[in-house]
Structure 1
C-alpha cells in the first residue's frame, strides 16, 4: 500500500507521515512547501506542486501511477481564519480549487480512498456544550466555508463515481510528537503564548466576559499525535468498510478555557504569565467542544493525551 499525503511536510501532515513510516507504509508527500518543511518527511518521496495550479491534475495522475497509490490523505490547505476574511477569493481558489483538482486526478487514476482534513470551523457558533457530527453546519468565516465545501465535493464524488471518503473535523490541535516537527506557525493559542513567553511580553486574551466559568473562551485541545493516530485509524477504516462517506469529530470531549491554557503553560514553564485583556473578537463562540462518541464507537479511537501533555511536549521541545 502506498499512501499519498498532500500537505505532508506541514505541522500535522509531518506527524501523520512519520507514524505511517513507523508502521512500514510507503509514503509519497505532495506539498508546495509554502509552509511545509522538506526535512520533516524523512525518506518519503516529495512532489512539489500547488494543488490549485493548472498542472496539478496531470502531475498528480503521474504520481498516482508511478507510485501505485492506493489511498490519499488530503491535509494541504490555507488555514488562517483572519487571512481568509481578508482574502476570501484566494481561499476559495486554494482550498476548494485544490480539492477539485485532487478529486479529478483521483477519478482519472482510479484511486478511490480519501481521508479529508476538515475542521470544527465548519460548525460556526454552536449553541450546545458538545457539538456532534449531525449538528447543522453554519460556518462564519471563509476558511470554515471552504472546509465544508470540500466535504460536499467529496460526498458528491462518492455518489458520482465511487469515491470512499472520511472527513475528520479537527478541533484545536496543539503539542508535538517530536521536537523537529513542532508547530512554528504562531497562529494558534499555544504557540502564541509560548512565543510571547520567549519575547518576555504579555499574551493577549480576547474577551473575559463570555458565559464560561472564568469568562474566557473554552476550546477542545487535542494533541497532534492523537490526531495523527486518528488519520491512521481512518485509513484502516476505509480498508474494511464499504460505505461511501462519513464524518468524524477529532477532539477530547474536554474543554479548556484560554486562562486554563495560560495557567498550564505558566505551571509547566515555572514562569508567571500575566495576560492583557482585550475586547472580544467578532464571531468567537464562547465554547466549542467535540462530542467524540462516533469516532470512539466506529474507529475505537480516543485521545490519549490531555492539556498537560500538550503543554509539556511543547515546553520540552523548546528547551532542547
Structure 2
C-alpha cells in the first residue's frame, strides 16, 4: 500500500478503483485504529491509500467510491477515531479524508447516507490548537466545510455534546480562535482562517436561531483592528479569502438596515459592548483606501473582482 501511494499506476479504470476501495473499507472497518496487534505503518498506509482512491475516483468522475465510504459506519468510525491519533500523519490524513468526504458529498448532493459522524466542538478546537502544520491546515479545511455544509443528511456534522444545536458560546470561542490564527505568519494558515471566519459569520446569520449573534461577532472591536491591520499589508490579488470575510462582515451590517442606524449602534454598544460608530467608519475608510491605492487589479481573477464589487457596494450603502 505504501508503494501504491507513492507510485500511482497510470490509466486506472473506475472499476479497479471501486474494487480496491471496497477491499480497503472492509479491512479498515474490521480493525481498531492503532491496535496493538497491528503495525502502525499499516494504518498510515491503509488510510492514506483509501484517501488516494477517493481522489482518483473524483478525477475519474466516478461517485461510487464516495458512496461506499460514507455508507460504511464502521469505516467512518475508524476515520473519526483516527482524528485523535497522537501520530500527526494519521491524524492529518483522517481529518483531510473526512473533510473531502463532506466536500464531495456537497457537490453530489443526491448521495445520501444513513450514518452521521458527529465532530464535537471540543474536537474541532483541539485540532485548531494542534502545533503540527498539516493537522492545523486540515483542521481549518474541515472547519470551513462543516460551516459551509447545507446538506440535510450529511455524512459529517458539527455537534455539541452529541446534539446538533450549537451554542453561541462555542461560536464566540471559535471566532476568537480563528481571529488569533488569522495573524499567524504561516503559509496558507492566515488565508484559511479568514475563509473560516467568513463562513462562520454566514453560518451564524443563516443557520443559527440566536438573534443578533452574527452582529455581535462582526462588531467586536478586535475584528475591526484586524481588518485595518490586514488592509495595510494585503495584496488584492492574493487575499481572496480575506475579501470573502469582508463581504460576509458587511452582510452582517446590511441585515440591520431595516432598523435605524442609531438603534443598531445603541444595541451593539450598550448591550454587547462592541463596535462604536467611529470605529466602523474608520474601518470602512481603510477598506476604501486599500482599493483606491491598489495597482494590481489586472492580475485579479473574475471571482475576486466580483467580491471587490460586492464590498464596494456594501461600503457605499452603509
- Normalising to structure 2: TM-score of the pair? 0.27
More helix by share: 2
Structure number with greater CO (CA < 8 Å, separation at least 6) is 1
Bigger-Rg structure (1/2): 2
